[in-house]
Amino acid sequence: MATEREIPVTPVKKVGQAAGPILTSDRDGNIAIVTLNRPERRNALSLELMQELIRALEVIGKDRDLRVVILAAAGKVFSSGHDLSEMVGRDVNEYREIFDVCTELMEKIQSIPQPVIAQVQGVATAAGCQLVAACDLAVASEEARFATPGVKIGLFCTTPMVALSRAVGRKRALEMLLTGEMVDAKTAAEWGLVNRVVPAAALANEARKLAERIAEASLLVVAIGKQAYYTQIDLNQPKAYAYAKEVMTMNSLDADAQEGISAFLEKRPPCWTGK
């Protein structure tokens, strides 16, 4: 019998087309597991890797059998950020493409219907830190550390700043951005960059447990809620309430809302239709 921390793992199957060697995209039941696979380059976000990750998320986003995504990384480093070998001697259009694709990736994470959980086993710096901040949720190992050190090499972490400041707030984001110093996992949790910190040996199971709890809900309802969250977060309060009450009104008409309320009143498990 499995303990609370030991979650049985079913054999994985490929999601959509086979991914290249720099990215793997697998499934465990209704959970997608996407893994950055450039450990020899500290999982640096090359243009190719970012494009593959966007494509993988697009495939997952269209698969209604998948309820949650876990974004993991191979090796000791979660991601060191942009591949600096691609950042030397380029023209303005080439630099613009890199940051356009990076922005598309961060927005794709938040636009697909499934929640995305970052499973952070090690260091996440610059755009790697941005990647964690852009994910809907994050579980980190005690060994994880975070930084936006661009200021130290003359390239301020301006695009990472967007996701970071929305996760940890102004003063803490500016401290990370202006000093470039590492923040340990405990501090990252206190600041809101990650949801929880667990021992390294428990990381995969804790991320899986969180994913499975989310996967118990209707994907339709979760998708409505995720979209509504990101739409209202930057609105002023009156506009946020005006938007949210309309979304909740329409959500109330959905079959899954009626089923969930009825199941609660009748003290039985709900049977989601996803319609």
Per residue in 82-113, pLDDT tens?
999 999 999 999 999 999 999 999 999 999 99
pLDDT at 1: 33
Predicted model pTM:
0.91
Q: What is the dihedral of CA 86, 88, 94, 97, to 10 degrees?
A: 50
What are the chain's domains?
Answer: 13-215 (3.90.226.10), 219-265 (1.10.12)
Using DSSP's 3-state secondary structure scheme, residue 119 falls into strand
pLDDT at 21: 86
Return the number of other C-beta atoms located less than 10 Å from residue 142's C-beta.
Answer: 14
Token reading at 85:
């070998």
Which tokens go with 152? 């130290």
Strands in 39-121 per DSSP E? 68-73, 77-79, 116-120
Residue 141 contacts residue 119 (beta carbons within 8 Å):
no
Tell me the pLDDT tens digit for each residue of 129-176.
Answer: 999 999 999 999 999 999 999 999 999 999 999 999 999 999 999 999
- What local confidence, expressed as pLDDT, does residue 273 receive? 87
Residue bearing the bigger pLDDT, 59 or 17: 59
Residue 2 pLDDT more than 60?
no
Q: Could you give the percent of the chain with pLDDT greater than 90? A: 90
42/57 Cα distance (integer angstroms) = 21
Write 88-97 long-range contacts (CB < 8 A, 24+).
97/47
